[in-house]
Structures are given as C-alpha cells and as structure tokens.
Homo-oligomer: A and B are copies of this chain.
C-alpha cells in the first residue's frame, strides 16, 4: 500500500492508517502533542474548542466499546460533533456498498472518519477514495494495524521510561493474528528501541517473523530476561477452537504472566496490556492489578493520544497536496 497517502504535500499528518512509513520525527510530534492533552483531561473542564464545528463519524464495522468510547470522548473533548453510526442497521445492510456509504457521508460535509473493520486495508481503502478534505483514522483493520493503540503504548512507555534507545521490550502472545503487535513493533523500531522481542509458541508467530525487526523467544522463562517493558496481548479465545492453541489452562501455564514469571524481567519492568484482559488466561490478576501494571494508565493516555492524532490530522487538512 502507498503509505505516503498518510501525509500531505508538506509531509504533515493527514490520515493515520499505519505506523509503517512514518518518521521518528512525526511519531515524536504526536507524543509531544499528546503531552499537552494528557494534563488537560484531568482538569475540571476537560474541553478545548480546537475542533468546534467539525463533524467526526465513527464507522465501527467491528464492535469495540473501549476504542469507540475513547474516540468519542476524544472527539467530544476537542468540541467536535461526533456521530457514531450503527453499521449493522445502516444502509450498508440494505446492500449499499461501503463506497456509496462513504460518498454519502462525505456529501453531508463530515470532516473525519474513524474506521474499525474486520478486513485488513479497509481504512486505507476509504482514505484512498475519500474526498480531499476528509481525514481517516484507522481504529483497527483486520490483522493489519492498530496504530492509535500503538501510539498510546509508546506514550505510556516514554512517560515512564523516557529513552527508547535504552529499552528492551517484550511482546507476548498471539503475534500471528495481532494488529496491535504489528503496529507496536513498527513504532518501537522507528523510535529506536534497543530490542523488540516477541515471545510466543511457534504456532502463534508469523513466518519469517525476524524480518519485522524482532528477536524471538518461545519461552517466557528465557524471554523475559533483561526486559524493561512487557506487553501482553489479549488471547482471542475464539482461536482456541482452531487447534492453533493448547487449552486455556495449558496456555496460562506456559505464557500467562504470573508474579513469579514477572520476577524474571528487570525489577522495574512495567506491564502493559491493550485490554480487555482475560484474567487467569494471559495474565494473573495479581500482576494485572499489581504495582508494575500500567494497564489503566494506558487507557487514560488513550484519550490524550487520540486527541493529539485527531487534532493534528484535522489541522493539516487545509494544506493537503
């Protein structure tokens, strides 16, 4: 895919579809912009008028309460009008094509689409065909990318660990099917992490995974050594039935993060998870709720990071090339 579609003629962010092809400078600009919103969200009055009069449409073809809610809150706190479409009952259900739905919404003078779709490349497709004044944000497409999740993770890591170049980060779980992992790996490498290590059974790793710029471990015991940041992935329980995975309890025994396992990482390692967590499947409650967990901080940062990305994309619209 042509990733330059994400930038306008001046190299500024116009769409946010994937981490791939974005520069370290641009990712850093996003993190810096999010900084200012992070403080704001805790204030008594949590609104800024940056996007007043703009219309944002949430197009969630896949359900995701958490992501949809943070995007709604982010848009609302930027003072935009946010419209969440119920796709199941929409004209799409009457047989209208995705493109016709998009064209119609465009004609109503909306300014931004936030898209979540089960098919890889859906947000890209919409960005390619959208009118020039529209920004598209990818809120997760198939097994391809989930770039706003990756950026909120980067924000959380920088907040607590400061310098990416000193960090060894482990991503643990179903790397094969995870759009989150794909975007995290790209972001960490772009930001110069010392090492990105994936820890998973062979059946849950893509072929030639090293080509993504990671080191590989098949054992939690081995893999956690010297690690500063632990990123757990959610185990999609529906995959259990596909025989790709052993039983839930077997999985937990080998790859579930317990307090004992956690001790194998650096003593000040932080534990992250994109949520919603499966307690007792990929993570023990003692770890999820423990002092090294920053899972809820990730959620908080999610609002600020999405406000940053949305406002950057929208403010660069005028300069589109």
Contact = CB atoms under 8 A, between A and B. Distances in A.
A215 to B, nearest CB: 32
Given A85-B65, A276-B96, A104 B46 contact: no
Nearest to A48: B53
Interface residues of A, number: 53
Interface string A78-95: 000101011001111011
A100 interface: yes
A47 B53 contact: yes
Contacts of A65: 85-86, 89-92
Interface in A17-71: 41-47, 52-55, 63, 65-66, 69-70
Interface centre among A44, A65, A85, A302 (most CB of B within 10 A): A65
A72 interface: yes
Contacts of A66: 91, 104
Interface centre among A53, A83, A110 (most CB of B within 10 A): A53
B42 A109 contact: yes
A63 B86 CA distance: 11
A95 B278 contact: yes
Contacts of A109: 41-42, 46, 300, 303
A302 B70 CA distance: 30
B107 A69 contact: no
Contacts of A303: 108-109
A55 B74 CA distance: 11
Contacts of A239: none
Q: How many copies, total? A: 3
A318 to B, nearest CB: 8
A9 B43 CA distance: 22
Contacts of A41: 109
A73 interface: yes
A276 B44 contact: no
Contacts of A276: 91, 94-96, 100, 104
A130 interface: no
A86 B103 CA distance: 26
A181 to B, nearest CB: 19
Given A41-B109, A91-B275, A104-B276, 12 more contacts: A43-B53, A45-B53, A46-B53, A47-B53, A66-B91, A66-B104, A73-B81, A73-B108, A95-B237, A95-B278, A96-B275, A100-B275
Interface of A: 41-47, 52-55, 63, 65-66, 69-70, 72-73, 76-77, 81, 83, 85-86, 89-92, 94-97, 100, 103-110, 237, 275-279, 296-297, 299-300, 302-303
